[in-house]
Structure 1
Amino acid sequence: MPDLTHNLSLAGNYLQRFRDRPTTHFINGAWTAPDGDTFDNLTPVDNSSLGKVAAGSAADVDAACDAAEQAFPAWRDLSGQERKRILHRFADLLEARAEEIALVESMDCGQALRFMKQAAVRGAANFRFFADKAPEARNGQALYQPEHSNLTLRTPIGPVGVITPWNTPFMLATWKIAPALAAGCTIVHKPAEFSPLTAAILAEVSEEAGLPPGVWNMVNGFGETAGKRLTEHPAIRAVAFVGESVTGSHIMAQGAPTLKRMHFELGGKNPVIVFDDADFERALDAVVFMLYSLNGQRCTSSSRLLVQSGIRDRFMQALEARVRNLRVGHPLDPDTEVGPLIHSSHFEKVLSYMDIAREDGANIAVGGHKFQGDGVDSNGNYVQPTLFADASNSMRIAREEIFGPVLTALTFDTEEEAIATANDSPYGLAAYAWTSDQGRALRLAHKIETGMLWINSENNRNLPSPFGGVKMSGIGRDGGDYSFEFYMETKNVCMAHGTHKVPELGKR
């Protein structure tokens, strides 16, 4: 099995090109010249530079949007079968570069390689799933009336802006872009400035797969400039965004003058409810996995643990032992379970909640500080996996999205109390419940305010199923036909049978 030294050598080879020259924009089928402002792309491993990245200007975004607008009619009119062929080719190329994608992603955003190994496979699966649906994307309904027949048609909405986050950026980019392309839309992609490298790989693959110039455009840069212009540009008919709730509200305001359609996957403070009758070991495994995997930087992480009082002491004792045993280390070490956080600013934000927990009166049962140990650089953004116990749902650590390897544990007595606590949040992205009572599971399904609920399971991904949140966690749904509803317009065509009486006016 490859060790850390071997993985570092491979990663160094893949990353060298990013160090040798600035990562620029991909517009209208060509890479732009490396001029204008740039910024350093820092690896969270030790905060050294992985290379320079072009900081997109409003003019860069305008060029990308114009290219997407010019390319749209031909891509829209291409047959679904041809789009299917191109997108399957895209998936093949992703799988061929699986090792490169995993290593670059791990170094760029700090995620443990054990989780990134499947990044290309999952991204390819996204493209294959929506490629197969491309020929049927325009399908609608036939609706009969006695003297009229109605049929619905779907047409691609036009050029769309896709703004992706810094956590698992590769997979989330494919999850958004694949259905847009399958539907017949052209795209302008703005990746997060903290983790831009796999977006460049995706742009390269788009060219090799045979996407016509202007169908796929990518502009790097900051939200305040490149992101803002993208959400304001009149050629962009819809914006798909994954990120913070506050940013989502800004984007909605920026897109309002041009009445853009918006799809938001935003923040979460997701509850996992463990009842006394739960399968203890499976629930414990899921609680640990769904918070501490991906460094806690996962929108669907179960960051609020609600454990019933009957098993509270036993569960918390077992949980504390598991959290203490988590292996923190270099993301390319095959043994690492928790790597460094994405950026020093986010690292400081997460650490600030340790003081907030103390001020609020919570017990820091495990962790609560920076991780410093063998095998990690002291300049890296490593946080000791943390468990807050004896918390109440009114505390900031139970209400605000920390987005790190930090779990807040609360206790409840009754099912009604669990539901009330779960719902007492401005967020509603995901929820999890562990119980052997089937009736209770169905009651929870009806009463918990969330876009997604998993019963007796960790986050299980099903591509045809709707993915999205309620309240401050987002607007709209991804997955299967739900994605096409966002990227396409529905048109009704009413055809008369020639038998109805047409109203008459003006006759004498």
Structure 2
Amino acid sequence: MPDAPANNLDATQERASGYLKRFRGGVVPHLIAGQRTLSTSGATFDTIDPVTNDRQCAVASGDAADIDMACNAAAEAFKTWRNVSGAKRREILHAIADAIEARSDEIALVESSDTGQPIRYMAKAALRGAENFRFYADRAPGAADGQSLPDSDHINYTMRQPIGPIGVITPWNTPFMLSTWKIAPALAAGCTVVHKPAEWSPLSAVILTEIMDQVIQRHGGPAGVVNLVHGMGERAGKSLTEHPEIKAVAFVGETTTGSHIMRQGAATLKRVHFELGGKNPVIVFDDADQDRALDAVLFMIYSLNGERCTSSSRALVQEGIYRDFAAKAAKRVANLKVGHPLDPATEIGPLIHPRHAEKVLSYPGLAREAGATVAVGGERALGGKGNYVQPTLFTEARNDMRIAQEEIFGPVLTMIPFKDEADAVRISNDVRYGLTGYIWTRDVGRAHRIARDLDAGMIWVNSENVRHLPTPFGGVKQSGIGRDGGDYSFDFYMETKNIAIAYDGHKIPRIGL
């Protein structure tokens, strides 16, 4: 468990209120071509405080006209930004990372207040975002590099070139870090960006865009390299994915929305990168280190309020240890601390929105109807007006139940017994998703076999999700398309060009003589 910040709730709330004051004083604007601007229509929407569900602030609600201005600004800036040297982009991205770190307290408190995520996790969100920028800063000078591919008559060489303006659409659960994960490699590659953040938690995107725009212009870059347009998915998001100036769309979110984006971008043949939903298995064999496995199982579903695509939301536990493992899990789940997200002791905060809380709370009834046991939780927590949900554990479940098939996206774990290796693989793969898988065993051969056989883009063995930035990140089936991380990101944000130069000695076919 991450170390909790050494401060008290009252002091933390006071600092957060100070940072949020700027957003509450008027309408939160877009940022287009370096200018803060309201929507051309004058439309706004309200965000809410997940703790109370009271109104938090008013935000400009963009539509096709605002998106058009932002996309045109990105296209104009691209003419200059694409020609900025990799060394200069490295300097700029490191400066962005410096500025993020300088405002890390603000970013953490605003994001925790906006999303309901406990500050113990959000305290490091800015530092992770800065790390993303530093990682891609150091890759910027080599982003265009290719290969030398000689044959007998020609020398072939490849190069990579930025694809153009990118549309980035990010989710509401951990928006700051996920925004940097997409935008940093795009900028390193030489692309410009139009960012449409989730309407439920848009505030940290404002801070990030301010930082990037100020640093880029301070270092001589053009306005419009990064643009921010708030709004609803069906208007702002749809306009972005359909706009002809946008050459590719990077999206993190729900699977159904991903399919809509693919359809919307089809007319302009947009490249898409999707990081979508998951119903990820964590498989615990009877030879595993059960204490470490239990720690990892609980962390990967109950941290971040369970609102994470890589959560281990299905625990597959071998029959011989199932009852003992489930009993230990139930005791720990019942002991999780639900509380105010800015309280350093809080492990589970309020969910993002009342609509999402209602969705999560619909599953205990479905579990009981299907014959599963609600071993812990299943109700609202703390009373009052907020979106607090008790951490919940379903046991004696089967994989054909909705609780095992659908992405709940909350602090809810479904525990399923399995017989043997083949049974574990069968159950794991019997869902429409394929993002991650987690395996706990001391049998090296078994670990390799199951890692090979699971339908998932990423596997961790005897570990929770620990990201290593050069490695590929992404899913299969309905969990996504494409890979982030390392140079895999450049495969999306750049076009690869081949150039063939003849040695002038090969025979050219002659016709029409």
Scaled by the length of structure 1, the TM-score of the pair is 0.98
Write the mapping of 1:233-252 to structure 2, written as runs, cut at 5 A: 233-252=243-262
Which moves more between the two structures, 349-358 or 263-272? 349-358
Structure 2 CA distance, aligned partners of 1:118 and 1:81?
28
Structure 2 residue 97 is the aligned partner of structure 1 residue 95? no
Matching residue of 2:29:
24
Structure 1 CA distance, aligned partners of 2:292 and 2:36?
49
Matching residue of 2:329:
319
Structure 2 CA distance, aligned partners of 1:396 and 1:481?
38
List, as ranges, runs of 4+ consecutive aligned residues in structure 1 with deviation greater than 3 Å: none
Structure 2 CA distance, aligned partners of 1:38 and 1:500?
66
Structure 1 CA distance, aligned partners of 2:232 and 2:364?
29
Structure 2 CA distance, aligned partners of 1:275 and 1:30?
56
Structure 1 CA distance, aligned partners of 2:16 and 2:54?
15
Structure 1 CA distance, aligned partners of 2:471 and 2:464?
15
1:5 to 4, 10, 28: 10
Q: Conserved in 2, the CA contact under 8 Å of 1:22 and 1:34? A: no
1:182 to 180, 188, 197: 188
Structure 2 residue 370 is the aligned partner of structure 1 residue 364? no
Structure 2 CA distance, aligned partners of 1:497 and 1:157?
30
Structure 2 residue 436 is the aligned partner of structure 1 residue 430? yes
Q: For 2:402, give the aligned amino acid.
A: R
Structure 2 residue 295 is the aligned partner of structure 1 residue 285? yes
Q: List gaps (5 residues or longer) in structure 2.
A: 1-5
Q: For 1:160, give the aligned amino acid.
A: I
Structure 2 CA distance, aligned partners of 1:4 and 1:48?
19
Matching residue of 1:475:
481
Instruction: Give the secondary structure class of the aligned counterpart of 2:489.
Output: helix
Write the mapping of 1:44-443 to structure 2, written as runs, cut at 5 A: 44-211=50-217, 212-372=222-382, 378-443=384-449
Q: For 1:282, give the aligned amino acid.
A: R
Structure 2 CA distance, aligned partners of 1:101 and 1:234?
33
Q: Conserved in 1, the CA contact under 8 Å of 2:96 and 2:133? A: yes
Q: Conserved in 2, the CA contact under 8 Å of 1:123 and 1:174? A: yes
Structure 2 CA distance, aligned partners of 1:45 and 1:95?
27
Structure 2 CA distance, aligned partners of 1:354 and 1:219?
38
Structure 2 CA distance, aligned partners of 1:139 and 1:73?
20
Structure 2 CA distance, aligned partners of 1:354 and 1:285?
24
C-alpha deviation, 1:208, in angstroms: 2.2
Instruction: Give the secondary structure class of the aligned counterpart of 1:258.
Output: coil
Instruction: Give the secondary structure class of the aligned counterpart of 2:82.
Output: helix
Q: For 1:28, give the aligned amino acid.
A: A
TM-align CA RMSD: 0.8
Instruction: Give the secondary structure class of the aligned counterpart of 2:385.
Output: coil
Residues 333-384 of structure 1: CA deviation (Å, up to 9, x unaligned): 00000000000110100001111111111100000110126xxxx1000000
Q: Conserved in 2, the CA contact under 8 Å of 1:296 and 1:404? A: yes
Matching residue of 2:3:
none
Instruction: Give the secondary structure class of the aligned counterpart of 1:480.
Output: coil
C-alpha deviation, 1:34, in angstroms: 6.4
Residues 175-214 of structure 1: CA deviation (Å, up to 9, x unaligned): 0000000000000000000000000001110122124201
Structure 1 CA distance, aligned partners of 2:433 and 2:181?
22
C-alpha deviation, 1:33, in angstroms: 3.7
Matching residue of 2:19:
14
Structure 2 residue 505 is the aligned partner of structure 1 residue 499? yes
Write the mapping of 1:35-46 to structure 2, written as runs, cut at 5 A: 36-46=42-52
Q: For 2:466, give the aligned amino acid.
A: N
Q: Conserved in 2, the CA contact under 8 Å of 1:365 and 1:387? A: yes
Q: For 2:308, give the aligned amino acid.
A: R
Instruction: Give the secondary structure class of the aligned counterpart of 1:427.
Output: coil
Residues 454-482 of structure 1: CA deviation (Å, up to 9, x unaligned): 00000010110000000000000000000
Instruction: Give the secondary structure class of the aligned counterpart of 1:365.
Output: strand
Instruction: Give the secondary structure class of the aligned counterpart of 1:477.
Output: coil
Instruction: Give the secondary structure class of the aligned counterpart of 1:428.
Output: coil
Structure 2 CA distance, aligned partners of 1:63 and 1:150?
40
Structure 1 CA distance, aligned partners of 2:448 and 2:38?
57
Structure 1 CA distance, aligned partners of 2:24 and 2:39?
13
Instruction: Give the secondary structure class of the aligned counterpart of 2:135.
Output: helix
C-alpha deviation, 1:157, in angstroms: 0.3
Structure 1 CA distance, aligned partners of 2:55 and 2:211?
24
Structure 2 CA distance, aligned partners of 1:475 and 1:244?
13
C-alpha deviation, 1:43, in angstroms: 1.3
Structure 2 CA distance, aligned partners of 1:401 and 1:482?
27
Q: List gaps (5 residues or longer) in structure 1.
A: none
C-alpha deviation, 1:503, in angstroms: 0.9
Residues 235-283 of structure 1: CA deviation (Å, up to 9, x unaligned): 0000000011000000000000000000000000000000000011100
